[in-house]
A = this chain, B = another copy of it.
Amino acid sequence: MAAKRVKETYRAAGVDIDAADKLVKTIRKLARTTFGPEVLGDLGFFGGLFELKGYQEPVLVSSADGVGTKLKIACALNQHDTIGIDLANHCINDIFTCGAKPLFFQDYIAMAKLVPSILESIVQGMTSALSEVGCALIGGETAEMPGLYPQGEYDLVGFIVGVVEKSKLINGNSITAGDGIIGLPSSGLHTNGYSLVRKIFNIDEDPSCLNRIYPELGRNLGEELLEPHRCYYPILKSMLPMIKGIAHITGGGIPGNLPRILPERLAAKIEKKSWYIPPIFSLIQKEGNVDEVEMYLVFNMGIGMIVVCSPSDVDELTKKIPEAKIIGEVVEQKGTQRIAML
C-alpha cells in the first residue's frame, strides 16, 4: 500500500524518518477517503482486499494505463496536483466502455529520488478523482530508481478494476446500420498527443512558451495543456440501458478507436463539422503545420467519448445530455474502410 511502500523506500534511502512518517500518514489519510465498506483489512498488507457483493454473474473489467508525456508538462511547470486526476479518469473511462462500474484502483509511481511534496500532490489528485466515482485506492507501489529516471521526473501508471453484470456488458455486438453516433466534448487534449505537442512548441528545449498567453485559448499554454482528462462515468452511467457501444477517444483518435467497437461489416460515417473543435487543436495544427488527417489520428479533436445508440434513443440521449452532439451514423461497410470522416 501507498503508505507501507513509502516507508520502505525511505528506509532504504536513509531519508529522515520523521518526514517519512508524516508522508505515510498523509497518504494513508488520502487513500482512506476513497474507502467504502467493501474494502477489507488495513493499509499496509501485501495485497489490497475488496469484497465483491451483490452481483449475479459478475464480469470484472480491468485496464492498465499511463498518462504518456503529459507528465513532462507537469514536471516542466512543477505542478503535480492534476496529473493524478488524468490517470484516474483515463482508467475509469476505459473500463466504462464495457459498462463497468469502477471498484478499485492501484497506482505505480517511479522516480529517481522520492520527493514527498510531489508524491503527495499526485496522490491528492488521484484520490479526489477516485472519490468522485466511488472507486477505492487500495494499494500501489512507489519505486525509487536512480539512474533510470531523470532527476525531478517520474512515471505514473494506474490499474483499475470494475464490474458489470454479464447480461449488461456493453461490447458493441448489438450495433446495427442506422444507429446514431453521439459525441461528448473533451476537456482538451486529455492524455494523448503530447509527444507531438512538445515537439511542435519545442517545450523540452524551452519550456518558457508554457507561460505564454494565447488569446484564442484565453489562458496560457501550460494551463491549457494540463487541463485534466475528463471523466464521463457520472454523466453517462444512468444512460447505460440506452447505449449499445462506447468508445474512449484516446491515442489513434476517432478513426483509431471508434471502429474497435463496431461489429464486422459495419462502418462509421462521421460529420466533422457537427461539433465544436476547441481552439487548442487549431493552434497546434497551425503552429506545427500538421496535416488534417494526422490531427484526427493523434488528437481527440474535441470529442472525448463516443456512444452508439439506436436511432429511436438519439433524441432522449441528446436531450438528457445537452452537451452531447450527434456526430454521425453507423452504416454498412463498403470496401475496406471502417470509418469515413466527412
Cβ–Cβ < 8 Å partners of A252 in chain B: 8, 11
Q: Is the C-beta of A190 less than 8 angstroms from some C-beta in chain B?
A: no
Q: Is the C-beta of A178 less than 8 angstroms from some C-beta in chain B?
A: no
C-alpha spacing A283/B336, complex, angstroms: 62
A260 contacts B147, C-beta separation under 8 Å: no
Q: Is the C-beta of A45 less than 8 angstroms from some C-beta in chain B?
A: yes
Interface size on A, residues (CB 8 A): 72
Cβ–Cβ < 8 Å partners of A248 in chain B: 46
C-alpha spacing A45/B169, complex, angstroms: 13
User: In the complex, given contacts A45-B260, A108-B159, what are 5 additional A-B residue pairs having Cβ atoms less than 8 angstroms apart?
Assistant: A47-B94, A52-B60, A64-B108, A65-B108, A161-B161
- Find the B residue at minimum CB distance from A173: B41
Q: Is the C-beta of A188 less than 8 angstroms from some C-beta in chain B?
A: no
A108 contacts B108, C-beta separation under 8 Å: yes
A6 to chain B, nearest CB (A): 12
Binary interface profile of A, 148-162, with partner B (CB < 8 Å = 1, else 0)?
111001010101011
Q: Is the C-beta of A304 less than 8 angstroms from some C-beta in chain B?
A: no
Cβ–Cβ < 8 Å partners of A298 in chain B: 12
Q: Which of A28-36, A133-141, A208-216, A267-275 contacts B (4 or more CB under 8 A)?
A: A133-141
- A61, A100, A169, A256 — most chain B CB neighbours (10 Å): A61
C-alpha spacing A158/B187, complex, angstroms: 30
- Find the B residue at minimum CB distance from A104: B62
User: Assuming A12-B195, A147-B69, is B106 touching A62 (CB within 8 A)?
Assistant: yes
A151 to chain B, nearest CB (A): 12
A61 contacts B48, C-beta separation under 8 Å: yes
